[in-house]
Structure 1
Amino acid sequence: MAEPVQPQKKTILVVDDTPDNLVLFGELLMPHYQVRVANSGLKALAAAAAEPRPDLILLDVMMPEMDGYQVIARLKTEPETRDIPVMFITALDQIEDEVRGLELGAADYVTKPVKPAILLARVRGQLDLKEARDILRDKNAWPEAEVERRVRQYRKVQDASMRALASLAEARDSETGNHILRTQGYVNILAGTLAAQPKYAAILTPAVIETYTKAATLHDIGKVGIPDQILYKPGRHTPEEWEIMKTHAQIGAQAIWRAIQHEDDLEAVNFLCVAMEIAGKHHEKWDGSGYPRGLVGEQIPLCARLMAVADVFDALVSRRIYKAAFTIEEAKRIIVENSGSHFDPEIVAAFCQCIDEFHSVAARYQDDGEHEEHNPPA
């Protein structure tokens, strides 16, 4: 009986001028792929044009003589290499560096030190995307309507899964009610307002805003790990109880990280990474006094800084066993007073611009049994 034909391994070209990095990436990738290496930009160009051409290129940015930006610019001008996806692997972590790489045609941008599980997932995702593009281009095997149907189906499943996960935390906290819907709305409004500013226009694209909005659903998922006697306590916590309560941020982030390690779909990994940042860091404060890590300023991811304003605003205007609801104007005053200490001043400024929209969301998704108690904003 004939042996089954094994699928041919995809080929990945790794470009880095540091030998230790070439060894590291080789050991990580070789169990799954054919790996070729190049230690300079010129050798990378030659290897990319040689047969068999690589299916994906992992490209370092900081290299002597010819850096990664120059290499990708050359790759994209040559017909035989312009369709090879390129992932930047670099220690540069500024937004400007990432934007420049993406503008030059990079398919993805991963900062060092890399996390093996995330890198493998992103590599797999890029290879799957390339294979799908090749099928569509060369064989026209999938009609456009079928592709759109599958994308819609995938997103419906993703949305349903998120709602199911978020409901675990909501079900354990009888006070939250429509908190998830409201905070999603606030994050969406804040991100859209910031996107109108030149500084954020390239960062907060419609796709990114959609991801932030959906990921906000999971911000309190870690509450499933808090003991009932603390979570349900009808009053203020003791210092010891509060320390336990604060662990929900780390519990949520760790739970999402475990999900990332078992996921190989690029879109899902990117979404879960945002959800992990929100769950783990939305209680950090601009001045470094927050938890769990005491991050300062822009060390806190943008998605978590947006979530911080949304979460606190909703807590202020919602009635709890231990407090009455604040009016919209009172909540606005408190958030403005904490600009530069608890909150990112630029996000607070955006919040002040869209307070009317916040008021509309608060009114639309009131908790059961609540009446409209919020004064309209001035």
Structure 2
Amino acid sequence: MARPAGHAPVLVGALVPLSRPGWTEAGRHLLAGLASAVRDVNDAGGVGEGDGAGVLELVVRDTAADPQRAAAAVGELAGLGVAAVVGEYHSVVARAAAARADALGLPFLCSSAVLDALTEQPTDQVARLAPPQSRGWRLYADFLLGAGHRRVAVAAEPSVYWAAGTGILRDHLAAHGGTVTEFDARALDPGALCDALAADGATVLLLLTGHPDPAVPIVQAVRRDRRLAGVLLGAPAGQPEFPSWATLLGEDGAAIPFLRYLPARLGPLGARVEADLREQLGAPPSFVALEGYDAVTVLAEVLRSHGVDRARIAASWPDVDVEGTRGRIRFARTPGVSVWQWDGTPVQIADRDPAEPDRFRVLRTG
């Protein structure tokens, strides 16, 4: 769409992991969703006719899963005059970005990170689309309990995010007589991890690790160890959602339950966007791509209604009422969560079908 005469573009910062050690596949999906929504907003006339209104323009910065790099990018974007910042996939990185945005008075609409305490103190500057980690991981713990699992092991890497997830699982399982054993995924190679798991007797091993390494070698080792034939592998952080999981693991990557943030069925907007993103990506879009699209959709509506003033944008989060790809989006204050939170985010537990690893099965919703 041609830029309206006399209107400057409205700059929107976008934080995306596009290089290693960031999860670049998630970053590519997130950026595709962000960019697709910007095109749709601009094709529909931009964000209004008020002062400073015009077409949206993304200013993208690669966080590379580095919190310090993300914080520096937020400072740079603020200096460039962006109206707000959207995006980021990694929770620890989003936390650093949120702290910097809060300090600068820069609105930040986080698309994908789930840490409950995204900021140290409650803030009006930050809103989030993904559900709090405690909500999704408690649902996952209930799923394990419902399947009869009481002895759970985790293969975890050092991280605030993985530690928070382990704590949520341990507390919820303990209330129902369950236990969690922790194995250090960096200290133990896959073979040693299998030995430890066999000795422990846990019936579940959860992969609280990065993808592809060390998640993929761990899956391959467990699948090939006869002692562990009855052990359920799980990946609550969602690693099996992306096409590379199936490419690297094939049948070994099936029947590994994970969390994803999708409704039982997409509405008309979601179906249209899903089809457009599928064509752009050359593969089925993940829920992360839809999170990106929804973030821009929400921000565009805020800009139309409240203009580009940062203080007015931040003050508008409780007034948001926007149809997104995965449902109606409204923000509220949630106990234990320090930011404005979409309280209706759909949550699924799914896995890849062993009979057809490119197809997903929904195992539970909540």
**TM-score bin, normalised by smaller chain:** 0.3 to 0.5
Question: Structure 2 length normalisation: TM-score?
Answer: 0.33
The normalised TM-score by structure 1 is: 0.32
Higher helix share goes to which structure?
1
**Structure with the greater alpha carbon radius of gyration:** 1
